[in-house]
Amino acid sequence: MKTIKLLLSALLIVLASAGTYAQQSATSKPTIIFVHGIWADGSSWAAQITALQSKGYPVISVQNPITSLADDVSATKRAIQQAKGKVILVGHSWGGFVITQAGNDPKVAGLVYVAALVPDLGETLPSLSAKGPAVTLSNYFEPSGDFIYLSEAGVKSVFAQDLSPKQQGLIFATQTPASKTVFGDQSGEPAWKTKPSWYIVAKSDRAISPVLERFMAKRSNAKTTEIDASHVVMVSHADKVLAVIEEAAKTAK
């Protein structure tokens, strides 16, 4: 009887150890948190989400309300709280403002900017945009009450000009409009001053000037990759964007 009890105790220890190992294995890779921009939504990262999940990465795609910078940062912080272990934040366009703030969380190990805005302390979307050549994006704004949508013509000509008509139609239909107030929101202390950063320049971007993108990448000391693509480079060149994200993930400590 004593021998049986000892065997059962040993078996329980082995099972407990196996469970702990499995839990550690599941969380050994950092959680990749995607943060979309204005006139997009969380599904714009679909290709990267499915690819990363197939490789065992935990993934969260934030759905920003785009009602204020503070609201979007709060949404991203909730995602960070959900994550087990370290986090890599990936932001597109306006999402760069969001991860620049949310990235100050201790769990964040790196920042990946994808054709994104990278503000310094006190900058707003207009003041940062003024540091580069003008673009025609605002010609396609469609105000509706307190929010601004992007017209279908704008999606086709300046936002996603290298996508198929079917893909352009999907972006137009699923876009998240911006509250007019976000254009005046000031950025706080930037995480890129203390966290490693990567930047993807979209060389054919008509929504944010590639000249401005290179300026922001250099200012933030980001490891930079250039891709000949429109503003929605994560859709038109999904594999190349994925490669940069994985590079960042492998450096997470």
Domain contains 4: no
pTM: 0.89
Q: Which domain holds residue 165?
A: 28-250
Domain contains 130: yes
Domain contains 181: yes
Half-sphere exposure of 163 (CA within 13 A, CB side): 26
Domain contains 7: no
Per-residue pLDDT of the chain (253 residues; tens, 9 = 90+): 444 444 444 433 333 433 433 333 445 899 999 999 999 999 999 999 999 999 999 999 999 999 999 999 999 999 999 999 999 999 999 999 999 999 999 999 999 999 999 999 999 999 999 999 999 999 999 999 999 999 999 999 999 999 999 999 999 999 999 999 999 999 999 999 999 999 999 999 999 999 999 999 999 999 999 999 999 999 999 999 999 999 999 998 7
Cβ-count burial of 162 within 10 angstroms (0-12 exposed, 13-18 middle, 19+ buried)? middle
Residue 173: give its domain's CATH number.
Answer: 3.40.50.1820
CA distance 215 to 41: 26
Domain contains 22: no
Token pair 């950092």: residue: 30
pLDDT of residue 53: 98
CB atoms within 10 A of CB 52: 23
Classify the phi-psi angles of 115: left when phi > 0, otherwise alpha if psi is within -120 to 50, otherwise beta. left
pLDDT of residue 27: 54
Q: Residues 13, 86, 113, CA angle at the centre, nearest 5°?
A: 155
CA distance 51 to 242: 8
Handedness of CA 167, 99, 89, 216 (dihedral sign): positive
CA distance 23 to 12: 17
Which parts of the chain fold into alpha helices (H)?
2-26, 46-54, 69-82, 95-102, 125-129, 152-154, 165-174, 210-219, 233-236, 238-250
Q: Residues 39, 124, 213, CA angle at the centre, nearest 5°?
A: 70
CA 181 vs CA 71, 86, 129: distances in Å: 11, 32, 16
pLDDT of residue 18: 38
- Give the residue among 133, 248, 131 at the shortest CA–CA distance from 192: 248
Domain contains 102: yes
The structural domain count of the chain equals 1
Domain contains 17: no
CA 30 vs CA 55, 191, 193: distances in Å: 12, 18, 21
pLDDT of residue 36: 98
